[in-house]
Amino acid sequence: MAKISFKPGNMLYPLPAVMVSVADKAGHSNIITVAWTGTVCTNPPMVSISVRPERFSHHMIEETGEFIINLTTEELTYATDYCGVKSGKDVDKWKEMQLTPVMGEKVQVPYIEESPVNIECKVRKVERLGSHDMYLADVVAVHVDDAYMDEKNSFHLINAKPIAYNHGEYYGLGKKLGKFGYSIQKKTKKQPNQKKSLTKK
C-alpha cells in the first residue's frame, strides 16, 4: 500500500455536523451549522466550536457569550445543510426549515426542539486562531428527547439516527462494530446444557 503526501490541512474526518443556535442581546436568533466542534473536558463538562469571524452568527456569540449545540439526525440532514450554506442576514432559518425554537433553561438562546440533544453552553475563553475563532465553553444544561429513553432511564442516541460529516458529505453512522472496552473484555465460555441423568436405584 503506497501513501500519497498532501499539503497540511484538516483531514480529521468524520466529524459531527451540529446546528448551533445563537442570539444577540436584542433577542434576534439564528442557526449556524458547524463541523469544527468537539469535546474539551469531562469535569467540568466543556465543549468547543470554531466559527469564522465573517459568519453572521459570529457577532451574536461575541455579544452574549452563549450558544446551544443541537445534535443532528438523518431527518434533519436537509436543514443541517441549509443552515450551513444560507446566511441569517438573508433568511429566517427557523421559519424556512420549520424548526421550533424553545428558550434555553440557563442561556438566553433558543434550542431546536426537533433535535434529539440540546447542549446549552456559556463561553469561558476565546482563542483567535486564524481563519476561525475557537470558543471554549462550559456546558450548563442538557436536554434530551424522551423518545430515546428506555425503561431503565438510559438514553439511546443511536435510535435517533445521528449523522456525521465526512469531507464535504453527510453520512448515517451504519452498523455497530463494538463498544468501549470490548477489545480487552474477558470472553465468557458458553456452558453446554447439561441434562441430569436419571438412574434407577
Q: What is the pLDDT of residues 39-83, one digit of tens each?
A: 999 999 999 999 999 999 999 999 999 999 999 999 999 999 999
In a domain, 180, yes or no: no
In this structure, what C-alpha cell is assigned to residue 91?
433568511
Burial of 23 per CB tally in 10 Å (0-12, 13-18, 19+): buried
In a domain, 33, yes or no: yes
CA–CA separation, 172 and 162 (whole Å): 6
- State the DSSP H helix or E strand holding residue 62, giving kind and residue range, or none if neither: helix 58-64
In this structure, what C-alpha cell is assigned to residue 3?
501513501
In a domain, 191, yes or no: no
**104: nearest Cα among 123, 120, 124, 116:** 120
In a domain, 29, yes or no: yes
CA–CA separation, 113 and 46 (whole Å): 22
Check: CB of residue 136 under 8 Å from CB of residue 46: yes
The boundaries of the domain holding residue 151 are 15-175
**What CATH code is carried by the domain that includes residue 49?**
2.30.110.10
Q: How many domains does the chain have?
A: 1
Q: Could you give phi then psi for residue 47, rounded to 5 degrees?
A: -135, 175
In this structure, what C-alpha cell is assigned to residue 184?
480487552
In a domain, 137, yes or no: yes
In a domain, 114, yes or no: yes
Prior bond of 110 cis (ω within 30°): no
CA–CA separation, 17 and 23 (whole Å): 20
In a domain, 170, yes or no: yes
Torsion of CA 34, 60, 52, 162, to 10 degrees: 0
List the chain pLDDT tens, one digit each, 201 residues.
899 998 998 889 999 999 999 999 999 999 999 999 999 999 999 999 999 999 999 999 999 999 999 999 999 999 999 999 999 999 999 999 999 999 999 999 999 999 999 999 999 999 999 999 999 999 999 999 999 999 999 999 999 999 999 999 999 998 999 999 999 988 776 555 544 444 444
In a domain, 181, yes or no: no
